[in-house]
Structure 1
Amino acid sequence: MTGLYVEALIRADPDDLWDRTQQPARHRRWDLRFTDITYLPCAPGEPQRFRYATRVLPFLTVAGVGVAAGERHRPDGTRTSALRFSSRHPLSLIEEGRGYWRYVPTDDGVRFLTGYDYRPRWGRWGRPADRLVLRPLMGWATAWSFDRLRLWCERGIPPERSLRYALGETAVRLAAVVAVAKTVPAAGPAAAALALLLPPSPVTPAARRCRRRPPGREQGRTAPPALLATLPAATAAATPTASTVPEPS
């Protein structure tokens, strides 16, 4: 599968990591890409259908539906989950897509990685908007969220607190740049570059800590799991409107 790839090494109990990523109430706490995730009723043995929503603006929520399945116990010790998703919301640049998560145990922790891709909406206008804006933003948001999850698992920092740390650190850096620019205008660009390049605090999530390409030994041969091929298409007709999406508790 071509598209976006993100990987983080998380030193955590595999069962705890699985629960924090597979339970909707816990998943939406750390994943910046979602405001709400709600499981829909399904029969035993069927793939799990769900609704998702992302609040783009205070009064605008983009929603969609998906279908997912997981393999918690595999012969090689890894775990896998796969999903397909779609949205009928006219403001959603993502029309439909698919992806997977893998949990690979190592001596140092769990390699938690994802690969996903999607088809943009809006025809010839949507492709450049996706390439220049949405795709880089989605890659960054995925990596930032993975590091936020790592801090929760390794350091016990709740996602809500790590977000406050990130906002506070950003405000401090911005204030420092403004102060330098006012005092020595010629030094403003250098101060801005330094603010961007300085390493983040150990308690602040950072996308730069995550791998954005498969390791060299896996370049060109990172394939989606066979589980993904067994999933039916997400039923776009069931997509909720913004007014019917439940608020996160």
Structure 2
Amino acid sequence: MSFFQGWAIPTVDEATQQQLPAKTTELEQRLRDIATRFSDARFASSLAVEDMVITDVIARLGLNIQIFTLETGRLNPETAALIPQTQERYGIALRVMTPDTAAVEHYVNEHGRDAFYESVDLRRECCRIRKIEPLNRAITGADAWLTGQRREQSATREELPFEEFDSKHQIAKFNPIYDWHEVDVWAYVAAHQVPVNALYQQHYPSIGCEPCTKPVREGEDIRAGRWWWENKDTKECGLHK
């Protein structure tokens, strides 16, 4: 019988623990500055561990940054469960965005419910309907939006900056923990008892929709389980293009 040697939540060493207060202070200041500079900043939380860290800071400091999440209709039960859990923990109302029902039905009738396995174009169209269009609605009227992306996550994010300009939406865009390492994120979670997705305990280091995400082996890239049937250079849903 084979034993699956899967990815595991990284062990936080003493050096990381010692550096965490300074990193946390820096993150707090970044978020304060954003909330001060912009009157209607909105944070797109995928409910990933990085996003839960940012949510914790926003809620703890009482910052004027609206938090929304995308309920695509294909989330794992463990991911969906984080929505009410987060709201109860922090006493905040997450804005839950859902895809257009007619668009979903048309895709399913035209191509099949799981047609995204057949080609990159069909997968991107599914992402457009379930993620991009709801996100576009979520940031309409905002003057800035935030993500939980990190440079270390994938080859497509290696040059990620802290601040950029979203030319499509014509607003500022921020990646507040772009320079954090994976172990930094988990150090913060442990220090502040942040609620996280139960799938992390099941070897899922990066979690998207249920049919497009699988566990990752020890030593693999942390996004290897996302759209695993595609080339690594196409592994983005289009939200950050």
Report which of the two has the higher share of helix: 2
With normalisation by structure 1, the TM-score equals 0.25
